[in-house]
Amino acid sequence: MDEYSVELRGVSKRFGATTVLDHVSLQVQKGEFFSLLGPSGCGKTTTLRIIAGFEHPDSGELLINGQPALHIPPHERDINLVFQHYALFPHLTVARNVAFGLEMQRRPRAEIQRRVAEALELVRLTGLEDRYPKQLSGGQQQRVALARALVTHPSVLLLDEPLGALDQKLRQEMQLELKRLQRQLQITFIYVTHDQEEALALSDRIAVMHRGRVLQVGTPEEIYEHPATRFVAEFIGESNLLEGEVVHVVGERALVKIGALQTNVFSRRCLKVGQRVTLALRPEAISLEPAPLQRPRGEALRERGVENGQWVGQIEELIYCGKETRYRVRLGSQMVLTVRGPHGLRLGESVYLGWSPHDIHSIGAIGSEDDAL
């Protein structure tokens, strides 16, 4: 059996009448960058605090490096935590802030000096040892907090929205730094965020949480391209959600009727004729071509390998987004699709739409628990 850095088994936690965690089970592999992603109040920070030892679950098990850990006090768990607001000591210099954990461990002075210097070099703060936190930028303060957490060589580093207080440009720079540090040190990172793009950019795997439950665990590609539930499809990026009825099934391929239109779908789920389903279709997966054309409808799309090229609509809104344009295309009175595509189409223009059956996914039967989340 694989030994995980952190494993939660059926962990539940209530605060008063509110269930914050509902039988959460997770396995975090050694040396991976694992993110807990979800909206505020979904339970991700409580999960982190249970791992750190600051909260105790009402039921369930916690294992750290394969050993039961709920009885182990926080300071003995070989885990460090980086907070969103850094929690630096304002009256201590950078060097003393970083040295604090080692001093609490009563390490020899020479060892403390050496390891502090190594940690500051690691986060690229060499030369700022004698400054105080108020003399540093937000990004530099975050690096000090990282150095302080890493200097004791923990086996697991917990990060609770650590970049939330930074502006967008600095946040992106620090994302690169975090990924570099994690790869260089091969320490297990467990990262809490509500930022979907951040989780997709940083993580080896992601656990999407909602209402105290884990809805899906997978790589960024799996989470984005094959969402398991309606909530995941809507929360991760942007999706067009279409409701229809299965009219034909052959193996993993199904034909789904959506209003007066039909689309081919490849599904990992076992679909049945007559079943009402929700389909997810990413805006960037939809191809557009102007209409009407001299050529038969959708021919140019089919030449590019787009099979579902028979839908026709009208552009009712467009927004310039730099390298692409975001279009809202109306198909009849009941359906509007969001499409991300190349510039050049005009407001009010008629277009043909198409996509590959591999790019449209069934995410659950209508009325099921997953579909309602």
Instruction: Give the whole-angstrom CA distance, residue 178 versus residue 165.
Output: 15
Q: What is the model's pLDDT at position 373?
A: 37
Output the pLDDT for position 297.
52
Please give the radius of gyration of the chain, using alpha carbons only, rounded to the nearest integer. Answer: 25
CA gap 2, 217 in Å, rounded: 17
pLDDT at 1: 43
Residue 321 burial class via C-beta count within 10 angstroms: exposed 0-12, middle 13-18, buried 19 and up:
exposed
| pLDDT at residue 167, as a whole number | 80
Cα gap 373→295, rounded to integer Å: 43
DSSP state of 37: E
Q: Quickly tell me which residue has 């079943």 as its tokens.
A: 275
The Cα–Cα gap between 295 and 337 comes to 24
Q: Which residues of the chain have pLDDT under 70?
A: 1-2, 292-310, 365-373
The whole-angstrom separation of Cα 67 and Cα 202 is 28
In angstroms, how far is the first alpha carbon of the chain from the final one?
33
**Whole-angstrom distance, CA of residue 78 vs CA of residue 226:** 35
Q: How far is CA 85 from the centre of its chain?
A: 21
Q: How far apart are CA 327 and CA 283, in angstroms?
A: 9
Spell out the residues 6+ positions from residue 328 whose beta carbon is closer than 8 angstroms to its own.
315, 316, 317, 318, 336, 337, 338, 339
SS3 (DSSP) at 182 = helix
Distance CA 1, CA 81 (A): 28
Measured CA to CA, the distance from residue 255 to residue 12 in angstroms comes to: 41
In 103-127, which positions are buried (b, 16+ CB within 10 angstroms) versus exposed (e)? eeeebeeeebeebbeebbebbebee
| Residue in the structure block whose two tokens are 């690169």 | 176
User: For the sheet containing 67-68, what is the strand order?
Assistant: 18-28, 6-15, 59-64, 67-68
- Percent of the chain having pLDDT more than 70? 92
Nearest to 264 by CA among 227, 299, 306: 306
H or E element: which one contains 22? Answer: strand 18-28
User: What pLDDT shows up at residue 253?
Assistant: 86
d(CA 129, CA 82) in angstroms, rounded, equals 20
Q: What per-residue confidence (pLDDT) applies to 311?
A: 83
Distance of CA 5 to the CA centre of its chain: 20
What is the pTM for the complete model shown?
A: 0.86
Cβ-in-10-Å burial (0-12, 13-18, 19+) of 342 comes to exposed
Determine the pLDDT at residue 26: 97
